[in-house]
Amino acid sequence: MVQGIRLTKAFEASIPCCLTVCSHNFLFVGSRLGDSKLLRFSAVEKRRNSMSSEIGASQLINDAIITNNDIINNVAGGGSHADENGNGLAAVLFDEDDIHLYGKEFCNSFHIDESKPQCSSSSGRNYHFEVVDSVTNIGPCKWLRTCSASFVSDAFLHRPRDIFFDMMTVSGHGKDSALCFFHSSIRPQIIASTILDEALQIWTVGRHHQHQSNNIDANSTGNVAHRFLVIARERSSAVLELVNENMVELDTPLLFSQTETTVAAGELADGSVVVQRTTIITNNSNKVEPLYLSVQDKTDLARKLGTSRYQIIDDLIELCRTMSHY
């Protein structure tokens, strides 16, 4: 028999509009007045047994008797509402009509023996909530104002194209209210810059490897940083080498053809091999032969470049097919 329910605070979220169980142990709390949150929850069952003392049982019975003045008078006057044991408890819970309808055995099942301590059990759950993700809500907006822009690089302030300003709103309701700031444009923090005149397309190719260069910062991810920046112009190409936070233009055409425009650029073998596609095939800036992408026999091409490069040739032909869409 349930005697009471106790609720305790486990987690605080925005004023909810809807609650949706997305999957196992995931709960989405949607709110119109604050940020909506995706929560991960877990429950721990707790069960506790307690022995009620004789005084506690008597107090419980007395509280029940006081609620009915008619039964108090009957019990005090020795009325007929007492049960067979003469303790008067059955008379408090049931009258003669109840005993006639439900039976004496059923009524006596509710009898509490005051001479014995009672064992009561209580069960509960402890919930643990964790915020997985949240959806920012900027409404309802009470008022909106413009303010000075923040975090603007000096390079943009010297040559401004537009006026930089931010917008601030007072959003939310009650404890979920907040100040929201909005930027009108993307404001990157410029580390290094160079002027690229007549640039048509740009590619980043090649990878820095720790065993190839000792100039890479030890804290940087040298195995994933790009090494070259290929810039295609209308009649030529420019190549910049990326070293730490600097960009150095390659004056000597050691690795790339800079006398022709670049159609596409890519890399093979995790950046170890760089492929540049121009309007002609070159060997140290010397014309060799036109490049035809409809090569049917890969064996002839592999025989020209060496049989030990079969895998690179396969990757090269696949890359050429991809570049043909440019």
Domain boundaries, the chain: 54-116, 138-183, 194-285, 292-326
Distance in angstroms (rounded) separating the CA atoms of residues 245 and 194: 12
What is the sign, positive or negative, of the torsion defined by CA atoms of 104, 105, 111, 115? positive
pTM tops 0.85, yes or no? no
pLDDT of residue 293: 38
Distance in angstroms (rounded) separating the CA atoms of residues 316 and 271: 13
Residue 140, preceding peptide bond in cis (omega within 30° of 0): yes
Beta strand ranges found along the chain (DSSP E): 18-23, 26-30, 36-52, 118-135, 141-148, 165-171, 178-183, 201-207, 226-232, 237-243, 246-249, 262-268, 273-278, 282-283, 286-287
Q: Look at the block and give the residue holding tokens 């329910």.
A: 5
pLDDT of residue 150: 74
pLDDT of residue 9: 78
Distance in angstroms (rounded) separating the CA atoms of residues 76 and 60: 18
Q: What is the DSSP annotation of 217-248?
A: -TTS-TTT-EEEEEEE-SS-EEEEEEETTEEE
Spatial neighbors of 141 by CB under 8 A, at least 6 apart, are 169, 170, 171
Give 53's DSSP letter: P
pLDDT of residue 307: 44
pLDDT of residue 72: 42
For 36, the token pair is 């909506």
pLDDT of residue 66: 45
pLDDT of residue 252: 62
Q: If the chain, 326 residues long, is cut into consecutive pieces of 10 residues, what is the mean pLDDT of each piece? A: 72 84 86 86 70 47 46 44 45 69 72 53 74 85 82 69 79 82 76 75 74 45 65 82 72 70 80 75 60 45 49 60 55
